[in-house]
């Protein structure tokens, strides 16, 4: 059984069909890339999966359970976490606190326990911290030396890393990355590629939206191509690179074909 099974999802904004009967699946341990020109509906699909903007029709089953209609925090609790195309870190909070929020729903401390502070509150905080440091250490020396710095002071690339760390800390089964390499230089991009592989090896499945072809081709097990809200192709990287409809829609049509 597929970990994520999306069937016939349709989403309209007014008269605009952002997604039209899109189906796709993702198996446990897979890295699937979602590509397509701007406005193809990639981020809309992410929003439909996570419940941010529920689809008009269609179903999304995660681990066999229907998740359409559930609010985003419940989807996250079931094991899908995500990052955003436009970075959304908690600017005034420190790097460590940002990541600790990712562990929030695993916590048990409520208002009364917070006031009375039985020993388990301290243990929970320590456990949370330990998990966060462990996840932050995946990024080498990028984030660990900046634990107490407010997130808004971080560089662009580091804020992206922080978002990924926040999404990873609760141990999701599936992580959705929305353009993780946007605004990064080639060296940093390569690090993200390694990171995505590492995330996969740690047992998280990955669905990634990406524009940089080099990244897509090296990292994905499978590629899904969207154009104008419809799925136009799906397959392993080599097949996608050779697919004429994809080249037509995405890679620049005739000119590219002539250049080859």
Interface residues with another protein (CB under 8 A)? 50, 52, 71-73, 76-77, 81-82, 84, 88-93, 96-98, 100-102, 104-105, 107, 109-111, 114-115, 117, 121, 124-125, 129-130, 133-134, 137, 141, 144-149, 163, 166-167, 170
CB of 151 vs another protein, minimal distance in Å: 8
Q: Are 32 and 206 in contact (CB under 8 A)?
A: yes
CB of 105 vs another protein, minimal distance in Å: 4
Between 76 and 246, whose beta carbon lies closer to another protein? 76
CB of 207 vs another protein, minimal distance in Å: 14
How far is residue 81 CA from its own chain's centroid?
Answer: 7
Between 100 and 193, whose beta carbon lies closer to another protein? 100
Of the candidates 167, 223, 225, the residue with the CA atom closest to the CA atom of residue 199: 167
Backbone angles phi, psi at 177, to 5 degrees: -110, 120
DSSP-based three-state secondary structure for 110: coil
Between 111 and 259, whose beta carbon lies closer to another protein? 111
Between 126 and 238, whose beta carbon lies closer to another protein? 126
Which residues, in sequence order, are CB contacts of 179 under 8 Å at separation 6+?
A: 85, 209, 210, 211
CB of 98 vs another protein, minimal distance in Å: 8
Q: Are 171 and 143 in contact (CB under 8 A)?
A: no
DSSP conformation letters of 17-38 = EEEEEEEEEE-TT-EEEEE-ST
Between 21 and 87, whose beta carbon lies closer to another protein? 87
CB of 170 vs another protein, minimal distance in Å: 6
223: β partners: 33, 235
């Amino acid at each position: 059984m597929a970990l994520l099974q999306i069937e016939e999802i349709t989403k309209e904004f007014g008269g605009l069909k952002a997604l039209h009967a899109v189906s796709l699946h993702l198996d446990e341990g897979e890295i699937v890339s979602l590509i397509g020109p701007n406005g193809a509906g990639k981020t809309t699909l992410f929003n439909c999966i996570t419940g941010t903007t529920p689809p008009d029709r269609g179903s999304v089953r995660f681990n066999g359970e229907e998740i359409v209609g559930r609010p985003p925090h419940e989807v996250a609790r079931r094991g899908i976490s995500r990052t955003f195309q436009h970075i959304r870190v908690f600017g005034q909070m420190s790097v460590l606190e940002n990541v600790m929020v990712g562990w929030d729903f695993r916590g048990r401390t409520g208002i009364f326990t917070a006031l009375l502070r039985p020993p388990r509150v301290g243990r929970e905080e320590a456990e949370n911290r330990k998990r966060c440091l462990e996840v932050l250490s995946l990024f080498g020396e990028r984030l660990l030396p900046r634990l107490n710095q407010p997130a808004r002071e971080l560089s662009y690339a580091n804020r992206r890393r922080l978002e990924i760390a926040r999404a990873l800390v609760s141990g999701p089964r599936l992580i959705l990355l929305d353009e993780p390499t946007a605004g990064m230089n080639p060296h940093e991009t390569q690090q993200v590629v390694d990171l995505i592989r590492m995330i996969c090896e740690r047992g998280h499945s990955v669905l990634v939206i990406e524009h940089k072809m080099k990244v897509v081709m090296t990292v994905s097990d499978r590629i899904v191509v969207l154009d104008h809200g419809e799925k136009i192709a799906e397959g392993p990287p080599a097949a996608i690179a050779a697919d004429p409809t994809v080249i037509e829609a995405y890679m620049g049509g005739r000119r590219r074909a002539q250049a080859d």
